[in-house]
Amino acid sequence: MEVNEFIKKLFDRAAKAGFEASEADYAGSEEFSVSVKNGEIVDYSVSAGMGLGFRALSKGKMGYASTQVLDEDALDLLISGAAENAALIENDDEEFIFVGSKSYPEMDVYNGEIDRITAAEKIDMARRLEKACVSLDPRVTQCEAVEIMSGSSARRLVNSRGLDVSFRENYIGLYAGVLAQENGEVTSGSAIRLARDPKKLDIEAEAAKAVKEAVDGLNADKAISGEYKVILRNDVAGSILRTFASVFSAEAAQKGFSLLKGREGEIIGSPALSIVDDPLNPASPGATPFDGEGVATRRLDIVSAGRLNTLLHNLKTAKKQGVETTGSASKPSYTSPVGVAAHSMHVVPSGLSPEQLVEMAADGVLITDVQGLHSGANQISGDFSLGARGFLIEGGKVTRPVSQITVAGNFFELLKNVTAVADNLDFAFSSVASPDLLIGKLAVAGK
Amino acid sequence: MISKSAAERVLAEAVRSGGDFAELFMEDTRSSSLNLVDGAIDSATTGRTHGAGIRIYHGLEGIYVHTNDTSEAGLMKAARQAASAIGDANAARDIRLTGSIVRNIHAIERLPMDVSGAEKSRLVHAAYQAAKDYDSAIRQVRVSLMGKETDVLIANTEGLFTGDRRVYTRFSVVAMASNGQENQTGSQAPGAMMGYELFRDRVDVEARARRAAETAVTMLKADKCPGGYMPVIIDNGFGGVIFHEACGHSLEATQVALGNSEFCGKLGQQIASPIVTAVDDGTIANEWGSLNIDDEGTPTNRLVLIENGILKNYMIDRLNGRRMKMAVTGSARRQDYTFAPTSRMRNTFIAAGSDDEAEIIATAGDALYARQMGGGSVNPATGEFNFAVMEGYLIKGGKIDRPVRGATLVGKGSEILMKIDRVGKDMKMAQGMCGSRSGSVPVNVGQPMIRVTGITVGGR
């Protein structure tokens, strides 16, 4: 049945079933992607999907259920599922269905131009991208994968207490993975970018970036094991911050999973380090006018010159700690329970260029890729030990490539060891980002 | 889900524009999860995933369209959308499907959705208490239960019309030990293609919780692992993740067909030490990575990947089989209908060898012993892998000396395989979720204890 009718019936039945309040989270998305190899299409995918998440309060406990089918059966499943799940909850936290904020930020991140790009044009773009990758350097003989993707998504949060907010966005993006070969050695390089404006998707520039990364990595050696000054390139610094972003969650802290518990107001990082969550920045894929509970979002200074101002809160964690919500309720999918997460977290850039950071380091290692963040990083201890590659920095210059090395440390120590921050903040494809960071010391293992 | 005649009409529509093969995959999944933190259940969810994907081949091109609308009209629309990607030719083809019954080798007794909340609650509380009671340093425990029942229907223009039911149950526990300044964790996550008989027949949740707590407490007292190049002994069970990452992914046709693997063109050649035999087996009853049929409807099999060091087989799905001109191996998998399938691992393990476990340690000299592995990843094109050691020990002069934490192993798959100099007798498997092009799928990894003569160990 049609979604408005479904939601109306759902709320009616929920009220009859004795729920105090109920909420629907309706999400729809369309996606397109095409991959080419040697000019031929190898993958072509078109999708349209929707889903509806339901949550409702029963005797003060929140029950959740979700569906991808909107029929009579689904109504029953949602009501009975939410009732059963609510009955299982054992903690005494106060739960909220929110009435709505007074006003919401204006946000225009839907670009009609993207919708007008035809499939044929996107196939051409993919072919152009592949051609650009293989024609820039004789050592790049093939691409591992070349893909153009686009998509749009819409979200509506509506509840029985009067909240009814919605938001939609779209993007177009590319991925290029290239392989360079010399003397039997293979290296890879990649570029990935999502754009809200098709004119900002510079195919040739992204190809050049991927090719440069692969070619520059050829003839790499292992670094000699030891402690080094390390520059984390912006994408690497961003992915490390993304991996550890949950330590700033008050929910993690209240449950004892974050070492930042109770540290608000204390110095936790170097004076060079400031971190914000800025969901109002339209350049970020994480831009959003409201959070997972329907609370209006705002820019939040999390860390200012090393001082932890606040952790991230939703309505529940804020109530528990006697503070206001920071609008940081997360609900990554309509199927997810409400949690806490940053929308668009980044390290605040300084006025220094990446080259100036290299000069400041004088001798050290520039890390351009890390692997194993899902397994080699522990948010609870802060420890990380990651496969990596990059370049040696010698005499204030980037010199030889190094690969099959590891870089290891602790996130909380790393925050204190940020010596300098560059100016090259770039969201590229992620809602968590950072400029290049110069770290005073990190352990590198190689030979 | 859909009648045979409706499937025939949808497939005919899909190949109307000149596609030479079409496939319909429909899925209806019910899932539930339960989480306990701090001694209290703090979230419970129920969900239903429902949709279909239509795939068309046009030579070596693969087109995929998926939708939630599984009415015949919705499927016809998706079929037309997929067909239009090939062209605007209009050639009617008569599709005749023949129903085939799949023989179920994975007996299920108690469906996860039928188990009462009270019983689930008892299980997670028992695990919580066991971990808490293990040591006073255990400050926090997170316990989860996951259940999933999936029905699939697969039909294609070669006449296949079949279906399968897949039932999964998994338990996970993360124990955190703390001394106030530092936190360390240990975890266990056993699962199977089973219902709740899992907890009667195979998994003692309290013993698993204590094992997770043991790792956390041991690591809290451990020194940081020194970095460097050294011999490494990897224990059985989840230690098999080394083969999964270092070699398995590079033997998937997903990589091989497009020339993105370091093992391309190496069939019949020696790629591993002669004491290594490795198998990918989708047929083991009730194992986490098993399937009656793969997600293209091909019955699964037991596939020897490496025999005495010689590369014997790749894992091959239908489209990449076309590209490679090789037969499928029942290895096509996908997370759900939103992904086109591709070749993936199932239950992948290094087979039992003949070396004595005590001897492997006693003759290691100075080495790292990885008792419990974490996860890892690989770049199949270059073979560079990395993975995390969750619980490690330094070996000095052939004796276990002390626990160490924070170790990572990095290297190249092709090099590591040749450097395996011991393979123990006691093969064990463990469960994981493997993420790749076609999403996240359940897989077993496994091996006996093995020794590698040298790996770069990342530490501090």
Q: What is the pLDDT of residues B431-447, one digit of tens each?
A: 999 999 999 999 999 99
A380 to B184: CB separation less than 8 angstroms, yes or no = yes
CB neighbours (10 Å) of residue B133? 13
CA distance A281 to chain B (A): 30
Q: Which residues pair with B422 in a beta bridge?
A: B451
Q: What is the DSSP code (8-state) at residue A295?
A: P
What three-state secondary structure class fits B310?
A: strand
Judge whether A244 lies within some domain: yes
- Other C-beta atoms within 10 Å of A306: how many? 18
Distance from CA of A49 to the nearest CA of B (A): 6
In this predicted structure, the answer to whether residue A55 has a pLDDT above a threshold of 80 is yes
Q: How confident is the model at residue A253 (pLDDT cuts 50, 70, 90)?
A: very high
Using a CB-CB cut-off of 8 Å, the residues of chain A touching B44 are: 63-64, 84-86, 88-89
Mean pLDDT of A348-352: 97
Inter-chain contact A49–B47, Cβ cutoff 8 Å?
no
* Contact criterion met (CB < 8 Å) for B43 and A89: yes
The amino acid at residue B66 is H
CB-nearest to B62 from A44, A50, A142 is A44
Q: What are phi and psi of A251, to 5 degrees?
A: -65, -45
Question: Is residue A8 domain-resident?
Answer: no
Of A37, A41, A376, the CB nearest to B258: A37
Lowest mean pLDDT among A118-122, A293-297, B151-155, B406-410: B406-410
Does B89 or B63 have the greater pLDDT score? Answer: B63
DSSP A402-416: EEEEEEEEEHHHHHH
Alpha helix locations (H) across B15-113? 72-84
Dist CA B344 CA B444 (whole Å): 12
Supply the pLDDT for residue B282. 97
Q: Nearest by CB to A408, from B42, B374, B406: name it.
A: B406
Q: What is the mean pLDDT of residues A424-434?
A: 95
A–B interface: beta-carbon pairs under 8 A: 237
Q: What is the mean pLDDT of residues B205-218?
A: 97
Which residues of chain A lie closer than 8 angstroms to B85, CB-CB?
44, 46, 119
Residue A447 has pLDDT above 90, yes or no: no
Contacts of A82 in chain B (CB under 8 A): 46
- Nearest CA to B444 among B280, B210, B270? B280
DSSP string of A115-135, one letter each residue: HTS-HHHHHHHHHHHHHHHHH
Provide the pLDDT confidence category of residue B376 given band limits of 50, 70 and 90.
confident
* Domain membership flag for residue A163: no
- pTM for this entry: 0.90
Evaluate whether residue A300 is within a structural domain.
Answer: yes
> Who among B34, B139, B182 is closest to A256 (CB)?
B139
Residues of B in contact with A405 (CB under 8 A): 410, 456, 458
Domain extent, residue A291, equals 220-447
B36, B48, B460 ranked by CB distance to A443: nearest: B460
β-bridge mates for residue A163, sequence order: none
Residue A3 in contact with partner chain B when CB distance is under 8 A: no
> Does residue B380 surpass a pLDDT of 80?
no
Chain A residue with minimum CA distance to B50:
A68
In a domain, A174, yes or no: no
- Pick the residue of A44, A122, A142 with the most B CBs within 10 A to test the interface with B by mutation: A44
Residue B260 in this model has a pLDDT that exceeds 80? yes
Closest B-chain CA to A218: B382
Q: How many domains does chain A have?
A: 1
Residues in A touching B229 (Cβ below 8 Å): 447
- Give me the pLDDT at residue B159, please: 97
Beta-carbon separation of B377 and A372 below 8 A: yes
Cβ-Cβ contacts under 8 Å, B46 against chain A: 64-66, 77, 81-82, 84-85
* pLDDT score of A102 more than 90: yes
The model's confidence at residue A4, banded by pLDDT at 50, 70 and 90, is very high
Provide the chain A residues 295-324 that lie in CB contact (below 8 A) with chain B: none
pLDDT-based confidence at residue B377 (cuts at 50, 70, 90): confident
Establish if A256 touches chain B: CB-CB under 8 angstroms: yes
**Interchain contact, A64 vs B45, CB within 8 Å:** yes
Interface of A with B in 351-370 (CB under 8 A): none
Instruction: Inform me whether the C-beta atom of residue A375 falls under 8 Å from chain B C-beta atoms.
Output: yes
Touching B: A residues 132-171, CB under 8 Å: 142, 144-145
B163-210 tens-digit pLDDT: 999 999 999 999 999 998 888 999 999 999 999 999 999 999 999 999
Q: What is the pLDDT of residue B412?
A: 87
ipTM score here?
0.85
For tokens 């050829």, name the residue.
A218
Structure tokens at B194: 């089973």
Which of B40, B44, B456 is opposite residue A446, by nearest beta carbon?
B456
pLDDT of residue B191: 98
pLDDT confidence tier of residue B460, bands split at 50, 70 and 90:
low
Q: What φ, ψ does residue B206 adopt, rounded to 5°?
A: -70, -40
- B268 Rama class: left (phi>0) / alpha (psi -120 to 50) / beta: left
